[in-house]
Amino acid sequence: MTESQRVALVTGGANGIGAAIGALLASRGLRVVLADRDERVRETADRIGGDAILMDVADPMSIAAAEIAELDVLVNSAAIAPTSGLGDAGLLDDFSRALDVNVRGILAVVSALLPQLRRSASPRILNIGSVQGSAAAAGGIAYATSKGAVNSLTRALAVDLADAGILVNALAPGFTDTAMALLPDGTSEYDTEWFRSVYVRHGRVPLRRPAAAEEIAEAAEFLVSERNTYVTGAILPVDGGLLATF
């Protein structure tokens, strides 16, 4: 099978990192299917020359309804980032919801599409984790816990699926310029004085800037490509050096 004939499904593909990965894979000749609960997935798919599926990864019925005959690459980018903290009334509900979407959602989609991946000549799974899988940020209890579990799930899947030839990895992006970085008032967290002071001027992000979603996609593309033949169970930070310093 040649690279140009491979089929990729990207959850969370309507926006941000998922959309950027979908666009890059499409530009490399893969047939790309974007799956998202956000109806804008159709526009994004039109823009990149792919197909769209409305899917809620927390809803097994909507996963089962997806008609995917062949699949070589599964990218799990769908996630939510609740910010409720200790003492907030919604914390436990947010915690459950983050685990449902960010962790159980990955396992549900992988389980549903395993038969198709097993038939592929070069099957790859890529989960989008976060630096918060390894280091906590204030107000991130639900999100950080879910992303730690994504790292563990990635390693467990890599071990269990190795005999089937399915390579499973995760990216751990740092600050990335997407809707997830928007504050409740609609401005970007990266435009705040706090971000510029701590992360840029003081070099808490050694590269002194957030990533563009397209930069995360470049790392994703290698891991899901046929050029990757021996990386599995890896969690790759794509974070401008954030986790390398303190």
Ligand X SMILES: NC(=O)c1ccc[n+]([C@@H]2O[C@H](COP(=O)([O-])OP(=O)(O)OC[C@H]3O[C@@H](n4cnc5c(N)ncnc54)[C@H](O)[C@@H]3O)[C@@H](O)[C@H]2O)c1
Stretch that binds ligand X, among 32-40, 45-53, 160-168, 225-233 (CB under 6 A): 32-40
**SS3 per-residue string spanning 138-182:** CCCHHHHHHHHHHHHHHHHHHHHHHHHCCEEEEEEECCECCHHHE
Of the chain, the end-to-end C-alpha distance in Å amounts to: 45
DSSP letter assigned to residue 210: P
Stretch that binds ligand X, among 25-33, 55-63, 157-165, 200-208 (CB under 6 A): 55-63
Q: Cβ closer to ligand X: 28 or 37?
A: 37
Near ligand X by CB under 6 A: residue from 24, 25, 58, 113: 58
Phi-psi region of 63 (alpha: psi -120 to 50; beta: other; left: phi over 0): alpha
Q: Note the helical H segments in the chain.
A: 16-27, 41-48, 60-64, 91-98, 105-119, 141-161, 193-195, 213-224
Q: Does 135 interact with ligand X (rule: CB under 6 A)? A: no
Near ligand X by CB under 6 A: residue from 101, 117, 153, 217: 101
Q: Does 112 interact with ligand X (rule: CB under 6 A)? A: no
Near ligand X by CB under 6 A: residue from 80, 200, 212, 236: 80
Q: Does 16 interact with ligand X (rule: CB under 6 A)? A: yes
Instruction: List residues binding ligand X (CB under 6 A).
Output: 11-12, 14-18, 36-38, 55-58, 77-81, 101, 105, 128, 130, 173, 175-176, 178-181
**Active site (catalytic) residues:** 143
